[in-house]
A = this chain, B = another copy of it.
């Protein structure tokens, strides 16, 4: 590569989260770093975008380094759209999102703000990856993760990614034995709602739940993570269930 790659960094935990600060540190070793990240936590935002409200963007300095940084009032997907189409006004060579505080493996990819930013970049034709560590703590230890983040990033820059595909990378909380390429485990959350009463007597709910994995495959992200490996899942945003089209054509829609 003749020039240093231009790398867009974003996340969903907010621009001051330790996860993104560690990610910026790694990316500064690889390329020219441009950060556009939410000014507040956006976990669970899925692929939300801001249509009915305005967006604000501010140049900020969070800590020392060569990176250029902007905080944005919107969602992770908004950050990518704004970065590419307005602030940076060109396509970066790569978009990295994270490092998320908490898992985005299995069905969590659907709810994930971290992955929505990577997917948004993918939609705009930019190679992209989301990184997540299976530790929700603000004080999570990102040190063991850094060499793998660098390795995955260099692989993407060297090999490129097929159109319509981004990567979802999750790291176990403790020692990392290596990296496994996986499929998304077929698992889901079983919700429980914590019902309470406010001081005015009105009932309200907190969403809680348990993650249930009935997928026994040894090629899943959950299996890799449970066994101490980082999982790399290629993610596509063509959501068509192509295998079902033929059968669906036998249905009586036009009779």
Chain A interface residues toward B at CB < 8 A = 41, 43-52, 54-57, 77-78, 81-82, 84-86, 107, 109-111, 116, 119, 123-124, 148, 151-152, 155, 159, 162, 164-165, 178-179, 181, 183-184, 186, 188, 190-193, 195-196, 202-207, 232-242, 244-245, 247-249, 251-254
Q: Nearest 4 A-B pairs (CB), nearest first?
A: A46-B47, A179-B253, A46-B46, A234-B241
In the complex with contacts A162-B244, A241-B235, A44-B50 CB distance below 8 A: yes
Tell which of A57, A109, A186, A234 has the most Cβ of chain B within 10 Å. Answer: A234
**Is the Cβ of A252 less than 8 Å from the Cβ of B184?**
no
**Is the Cβ of B123 less than 8 Å from the Cβ of A183?**
no
**Is the Cβ of A206 less than 8 Å from the Cβ of B54?**
yes
In the assembly, how many copies of this chain are there? 2
Neighbour of A110 across the interface among B123, B159, B162, B244, CB < 8 A? B123
Write out the residue numbers on chain B whose beta carbons fall within 8 Å of the beta carbon of A188: 123-124
In angstroms, Cα B52 to Cα A249, docked, is: 43
Write out the residue numbers on chain B whose beta carbons fall within 8 Å of the beta carbon of A233: 240
Write out the residue numbers on chain B whose beta carbons fall within 8 Å of the beta carbon of A44: 48-52
In the complex with contacts A159-B251, A181-B245, A239-B237, A111-B49 CB distance below 8 A: yes
**Is the Cβ of A47 less than 8 Å from the Cβ of B186?**
no
Given contacts A54-B204, A235-B241, 13 further A-B contacts (CB under 8 A): A44-B50, A45-B46, A49-B111, A54-B206, A78-B207, A81-B193, A81-B207, A85-B190, A165-B241, A179-B254, A183-B242, A184-B240, A234-B248
20 A-B pairs (CB sep. < 8 Å): A44-B49, A44-B51, A45-B46, A46-B47, A47-B111, A55-B207, A56-B203, A57-B203, A82-B193, A86-B191, A110-B123, A110-B239, A162-B241, A165-B244, A178-B254, A181-B249, A183-B245, A184-B238, A234-B245, A237-B239
